[in-house]
Structure 1
């Protein structure tokens, strides 16, 4: 029998008896130590040429797990950012917030780091409809019996998964206040919102067999992504977001995720374009065209930083543009469908200027954009008048 099977057998034996918090913690550590791992230098794992100061070797589980994200070999990591996140995780930080503009790769950074570390994770996307039952669970009826079920966050906390909450700023502020104990790294939490049996002895509230008490698994981590950092916004681009309680924000280690450097973005875009071309059996994109798409994005981002534009251009937008360019075989139509149509009216004027600067010619708009309704109406009315006069 393997060490892993022994760990399961011991766990099953202990769950039949009364379990203490110390028992759960010991069982978790026993299960972790029984898993086969390979120690890999951090810089090699993430594709850097030099060692990551202070990080050293990282344990990588060699057993496959269905909740480990798939590796994207074309993903480009920021060496400094990866180093600081790894050291924060190593130092015990269990709540990490990634803040940045749309399309800077916040969620991709989390998933691709976990793919390299072979660490399983689950996630949920925030919205005004998410409440504490989605995160911490509730009581439900199953087969005529009352049953306690976990939420995404409490399940990850119990089982040692990473929980990723995307779009944190869309949650109602009170929801995050309700998970303060998890955010600050408490080793044990009590799910009192499940209700308390009035016949229960108060000392039994800490009985981990009772379902209300959850012991934190040592491998648990909470990651969240956000465009605003949970702070008050008056910008129309962040419509639907909520300012979060400052005490909540203070419980999380926050990192800023910027756009990639131009050379990195070109490498990532070329890799994505090549993969798409191979999958769809298309002619691959020329590196000069890749450079032009990235140049357009940075011209627009500069305009945004100078408050000349209402919005930004994300990596996912130029990636979509590249894919459509190869599929359509047409620069202009692919640009319109991938980027232009999503822009505010005032930003479209700016986009036309940047397009002309990058490609040394004016954009040729497809027929649905070539004429306004007024132009079409005037032409039609004039034709009718001429017809009537002729009659």
Structure 2
């Protein structure tokens, strides 16, 4: 048989096609991500696409990056490793990946994991079209084939067996075999890659896989994260995993100021951040059921600018979502930080008994 390309040759052709159809520009990584000093390993200029892809996430110019995390993520991406970001709620795991791709002008497909995401959703299946059987890609196999990075959000809500089925993708295999395809026994093995319907996919060199999770796939007893599954240890071992924590207070002050469009005073923003860290410290010491995420602080800041009232904004953005015990803690911390009691909205000061008394009184007055 002649003119049969090897996997390496096919990947070289994919790279050549990508380079031929993409315009590039030279950038310095530290400038691209807003750092003052060059990152180790990225002192020289780097090529990235000159324009954003239609699937590139929307760039947030105010996003604050962690230099160490950016450096390690970029090096791991260069090594074509699967990357998992592990951390508490609201630490910015998903937004980190989105803004990383936005800065690099790279596309990103996000798969929101859950019990309904199965192997056929990820890798495809057989279907009927015009009376004939047709093989179609899933979200993940399509991305592998076409070189589109993928983010699987909340990985541990997937059933464990689903992740086992994509081990070849997780570990970076150059040839991915789709399980739903059959093979005609008369086919020459050298022709498998050229089969109609492509039962085997040559991994596009531009493909990358990211995942986020609160637990890292590990067994845990934290009641805050219901509906998650412990993942196979062999699956977890195929990821490079980064711990994502809350930003340092000074960085949260900067990020919160930008998120509120500088409509709040610096002292107000610092007080919000102080309350958030006091709550987190209480959580670490077992004095709170839940943590307070930057996502919630950002919502509080935005609603304060919207409402013009820091109390109402706190109640709607944070307080009402808390467990009863944590609500008591929140009131205490609010008074500690702001020097005044939290003024709850009227819904919290009106009971059914009060409304019943008022209703009966109004009825009696009308009858008299």
RMSD (CA atoms): 2.2
**CA deviation digits over 1:216-266, x for unaligned, max 9?**
111111000000001112111010000000000000000011101111111
Deviation at 1:382, TM superposition (A): 9.3
State how 1:281-320 maps to structure 2 within 5 Å: 284-320=263-299
TM-score, normalised via structure 2 length:
0.92
Shift of 1:372: 3.8
Query: After alignment, is 138-147 or 246-255 more displaced?
Result: 138-147
Question: For residues 132-281 of structure 1, what are the structure 2 equivalents within 5 Å?
Answer: 132-191=119-178, 193-201=179-187, 203=189, 206-210=192-196, 211-274=198-261
Query: Do the aligned residues in 2 keep the contact of 1:352 with 1:363 (CA within 8 Å)?
Result: yes
Q: Where does residue 103 of structure 2 map in the other structure? A: 116
Separation in 2 of the partners of 1:209 and 1:38? 37
Query: How many residues are paired up?
Result: 362
Structure 2: stretches of 5+ with no match in the other structure: none
**In structure 2, what is the Cα distance between the partners aligned to 1:100 and 1:320?**
20
- The answer to whether residue 39 in structure 2 is matched with residue 68 in structure 1 is no
What residue is the counterpart of 2:14 in the other structure?
28
The 5 Å alignment of 1:82-97 reads 82-90=70-78, 92-97=79-84
Aligned to 2:306: 327
Aligned partners of 2:193 and 2:58: how far apart in 1? 38
Q: For residues 46-65 of structure 1, what are the structure 2 equivalents within 5 Å? A: 46-56=33-43, 57-65=45-53
Q: Indicate the larger mover: 96-105 or 287-296.
A: 287-296
> In structure 1, what is the equivalent of residue 28 of structure 2?
41
Stretch moving more, 197-206 or 68-77: 197-206
Aligned-partner SS, 1:238: coil
- Runs (5+) with no aligned partner, structure 1: 1-16, 276-283
Equivalent pair of 1:24/1:215 in contact (CA under 8 Å):
yes
Q: Is the 8 A contact 1:94 1:185 kept in 2?
A: yes
Greater helix proportion: 1
Q: TM-score, normalised by structure 1?
A: 0.87
Q: Distance in 2 between matches of 1:382 and 1:26?
A: 82
Quote the residue 2:316 is aligned against. Answer: 337
Kept in 2: contact 1:205–1:212 (CA 8 A): no
Show the counterpart of 1:353: 332
In the superposition, relative to structure 1, how do residues 285 and 303 fare at CA in structure 2: closer, same or farther (>3 Å)? same
Quick one: distance in 2 between partners of 1:99 and 1:291?
27
The CA distance in 1 between the partners of 2:91 and 2:242, in whole Å, is 13
CA distance in 2, matches of 1:139, 1:19: 27
CA offsets 1:124-176 (integer angstroms, 9 cap, x no match) = 10001110111111111223322221111111111111100000010000000
